[in-house]
């Protein structure tokens, strides 16, 4: 039987570069799988069902919600977004570490159910760097940037409820940090409760 994978949730201010880190992790490290979210919004150009999102009707989404088939869900601008439980649990059963990139409220919702999921808060190396990254995107006006910065300050209030803080200085360092966290979490005694029994069994037979 394969050892159960772990569930890791990554949150952090917009502009931190979480998406790039997660993409690199999933592409380069076979042990990770990215959770695919579900939404009721229409697919955009090039978006593939089951890859970028699971695209559901409101009826289907609401049925899943009511039948407890979502790890977390929220409604934004009239559309539902959520994390289907089945895919996550299936990947974990196959020994994959599943990564969810979601915002603070959803993360804390999941932590209530999965006590041993790992909450990672990713931040840029400095506030100055965050401002620089948001400005360099050049897709947003000054007002939107300021709103994102204010939101970042609000989100930082939740840091104490997260397990780890990863500083995204370079993508490579952040990827390594996450791999280290998974490795060390795997050594936790709470994740190795069988060792005691196994050792006792072995010792009596040798």
Q: In whole angstroms, give the CA distance from residue 51 to residue 33.
A: 12
Other beta carbons less than 10 A from residue 96's beta carbon: 21
Residue 2 exposed, middle or buried by CB count within 10 Å (0-12, 13-18, 19+): exposed
Contact between 73 and 39 (Cβ < 8 Å): no
Q: How many residues lie near a second copy (CB under 8 A)?
A: 39
**Residue 194 binding a second copy, by CB under 8 A:** no
Closer to a second copy by CB, 26 or 167: give it. 167
**Residue 26 binding a second copy, by CB under 8 A:** no
**Residue 63 binding a second copy, by CB under 8 A:** no
Give whole-number Cα distances, 104 to 57, 62, 120, 197, 198, in Å.
Answer: 25, 22, 10, 38, 39
Contacting a second copy (CB under 8 A), which of 23, 65, 131, 148?
131
Helix axes 142-156, 127-137, angle to 10 degrees: 140
Footprint on residues 154-193 left by a second copy (CB under 8 A)? 156-157, 159-166, 177, 180-181, 183-185, 187-190, 192-193
Closer to a second copy by CB, 60 or 156: give it. 156
Q: Which residues bind a second copy (CB under 8 A)?
A: 121, 123, 126-128, 130-131, 149, 152-153, 156-157, 159-166, 177, 180-181, 183-185, 187-190, 192-193, 195-196, 199-200, 202-203, 206
């Amino acid at each position: 039987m394969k050892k159960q994978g772990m569930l890791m949730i990554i949150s952090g201010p917009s502009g931190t570069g979480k998406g790039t880190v997660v993409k690199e992790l999933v592409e380069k490290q076979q042990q990770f799988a990215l959770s695919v979210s579900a939404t009721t919004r229409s697919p955009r150009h090039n978006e593939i069902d089951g890859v970028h999102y699971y695209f559901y009707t409101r009826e289907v989404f609401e049925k899943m919600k009511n039948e407890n088939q979502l790890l977390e869900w929220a409604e934004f601008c009239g559309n539902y977004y959520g994390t289907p439980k089945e895919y996550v649990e299936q990947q974990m059963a196959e020994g994959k570490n599943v990564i969810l990139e979601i915002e603070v409220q959803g993360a804390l919702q999941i932590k209530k159910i999965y006590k041993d999921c790992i909450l990672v808060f990713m931040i840029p190396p400095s506030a100055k760097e965050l401002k620089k990254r948001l400005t360099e995107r050049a897709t947003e006006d000054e007002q939107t940037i300021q709103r994102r910065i204010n939101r970042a300050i609000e989100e930082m209030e939740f840091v104490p409820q997260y397990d780890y803080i990863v500083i995204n200085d370079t993508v490579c360092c952040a990827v390594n940090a996450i791999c280290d966290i998974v490795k060390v979490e795997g050594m936790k005694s709470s994740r190795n409760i069988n060792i005691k029994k196994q050792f006792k069994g072995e010792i009596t037979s040798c």
